[in-house]
Amino acid sequence: MPFDLSLYLITDAELCAEFGLEKTVEAAIQGGITMVQLRDKYASDEQMIAQAKRLKAMLSGSGVPLIINDRLNVALASQADGLHVGQSDTAVQEARNTLGQHAIIGLSINTPAQLQEAPVELLNYVGLGPVFATGSKQDHAQPIGFDGLAWLANACQLPSVAIGGLKAEHMAQVKAAGANGIAVISAICGQPDPRLAAQAFFHDRL
């Protein structure tokens, strides 16, 4: 599946509670998001598979891929479009072997050493960050700022998405740093109007 990292929504069930996960994602799609990642640190695998299947059905025909955070078995069972792994999650090689060559596989990168060690030939994209400190991820790594982002984005041969504390007003700086897009949780999940919140990232298109 071709993919576009411009605006990558990562879900948080708690923050999406007001409208529910599906309604929030549906509104965000109307607002122009280009990727969705289902991320849930607390749900059981069964709950997450069921949620992923509902999202997958909802996304069908939208051209927006569904990526699963961390859990290879969930990605496989739900026939999601791909998997995103962190540095201490499932090995990229195992994910690629299991999901096949058409799956979209992404890896989180925080340092030049991690980039150097990344199996680029097995990956489709990298997530670079956190750019800023954020309350949306517990025990996140040291923020890299826009300078760190620019260094990593330029050193890296893969498409990249910036993450961590980013808002609509950062889109231009993220692009200028050389990343292909922005990944967000709280700038869309939990916003009073998720459709408008997503649209705000594309104000230069209006």
Q: Which residues bind ligand TZP (CB under 6 A)?
A: 10, 129-130, 134, 136-137, 140, 163-166, 184-187
Residue tagged active-site, from 39, 71, 96, 195 = 39
Distance, CA of 91 to CA of 46 (rounded, Å): 22
Nearer to ligand TZP, 69 or 124 (CB): 69
Residue 186 assigned to a binding site: yes
Provide the token pair at 21. Answer: 């996960």
Distance, CA of 84 to CA of 108 (rounded, Å): 8
The answer to whether residue 54 is catalytic is no
Report in angstroms how near the CB of residue 13 gets to ligand TZP at its nearest.
14
Nearest to 106 by CA among 39, 190, 45: 39
Report in angstroms how near the CB of residue 152 gets to Mg ion at its nearest.
18
The type of residue at 10 is I
Q: Which does 162 bind (CB under 5 to 8 A by kind): Mg ion, ligand TZP, none?
A: none
Nearest to 36 by CA among 64, 4, 60: 64
Chain positions 68 to 97 lying near Mg ion, rule: CB under 5 A, are 70, 86, 89
Residue tagged active-site, from 71, 78, 96, 108 = 108
Cβ atoms within 10 Å, residue 62: 15
Residue with tokens 């104000």: 203
Q: Which does 89 bind (CB under 5 to 8 A by kind): ligand TZP, Mg ion, none?
A: Mg ion
Q: Can you say whether the dihedral through the CA atoms of 107, 113, 115, 116 is positive or negative?
A: negative
Nearer to Mg ion, 94 or 147 (CB): 94
Residue 175 assigned to a binding site: no
Provide the token pair at 125. Answer: 């994209």
The answer to whether residue 39 is catalytic is yes
The type of residue at 33 is I
Report in angstroms how near the CB of residue 94 gets to ligand TZP at its nearest.
21
The answer to whether residue 6 is catalytic is no
Annotated binding-site ranges: 37-41, 69-70, 89, 108, 134-137, 165, 185-186
